[in-house]
């Protein structure tokens, strides 16, 4: 099992594309902190096979917009846990649980009328509680097992959306990197 001592060695950063199939494309920035890791070694005919199981803390911040209409802008943030399995060929399969999610929609210039006075609304939009789950795949670079690319399919629920829920299915594709020298 690889021992990581410092915060820089245990933390990976990720940057990538966020969006669904038709609208709301954006940028996603995040960090993953390796909390626990276990390695199982199996003897095979072709040699040893190492399977890593990792538990990571996850946090992300992103911005999305609809470039066609320029009316659907939003900022989102979420945090949670990632369960990841990495095989001997540095391919990973992950499941992500993000119970702490927040989405803030941002509207264009908006005015309100109160007592026959028209005034501009400061920071118009709404805030939603947005928990999410995701499944993903990825490939890690040889030698630095925690840097590479990822592709996640994420399902988010915007709660209290006009007295209901709005499900959002989106893709996350990007790169992971680490600032430590290993």
What global pTM score does this model have? Answer: 0.84
For residues 56 and 10, what is the distance between their CA atoms, to the nearest angstrom?
A: 9
pLDDT tens, residue by residue, 85-138: 998 888 999 999 999 999 998 888 888 898 989 999 888 888 999 999 999 999
12: buried, middle or exposed (CB in 10 Å: 19+, 13-18, 0-12)?
A: buried
Query: What are the extents of the domains in the chain?
Result: 15-177
Write the class of the CATH domain 15-177: mainly beta
Q: Is residue 97 within 8 Å of 84, Cβ to Cβ?
A: no
Helix (H) / strand (E) element for 10: namely helix 7-10
Other C-beta atoms lying within 10 Å of the C-beta of residue 31: 16
- Provide the token pair at 39: 């390695």
């Amino acid at each position: 099992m690889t021992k990581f001592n410092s915060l820089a060695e245990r933390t990976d950063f990720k940057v990538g594309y966020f969006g669904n199939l038709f609208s709301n494309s954006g940028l996603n920035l995040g960090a993953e902190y390796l909390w626990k890791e276990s390695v199982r070694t199996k003897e095979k005919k072709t040699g040893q096979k190492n399977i890593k199981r990792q538990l990571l803390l996850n946090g992300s911040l992103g911005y999305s917009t609809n470039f066609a209409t320029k009316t659907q802008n939003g900022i989102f943030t979420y945090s949670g846990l990632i369960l990841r399995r990495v095989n001997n060929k540095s391919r990973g399969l992950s499941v992500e649980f993000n119970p702490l999610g927040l989405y803030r929609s941002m509207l264009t210039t908006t005015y309100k009328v109160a007592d026959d006075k028209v005034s501009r609304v400061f920071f118009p939009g709404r805030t939603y509680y947005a928990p999410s789950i995701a499944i993903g795949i990825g490939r890690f670079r040889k030698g630095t097992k925690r840097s590479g690319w990822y592709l996640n399919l994420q399902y988010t629920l915007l709660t209290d959306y006009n007295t209901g829920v709005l499900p959002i299915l989106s893709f996350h594709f990007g790169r992971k990197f680490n600032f430590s020298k290993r």
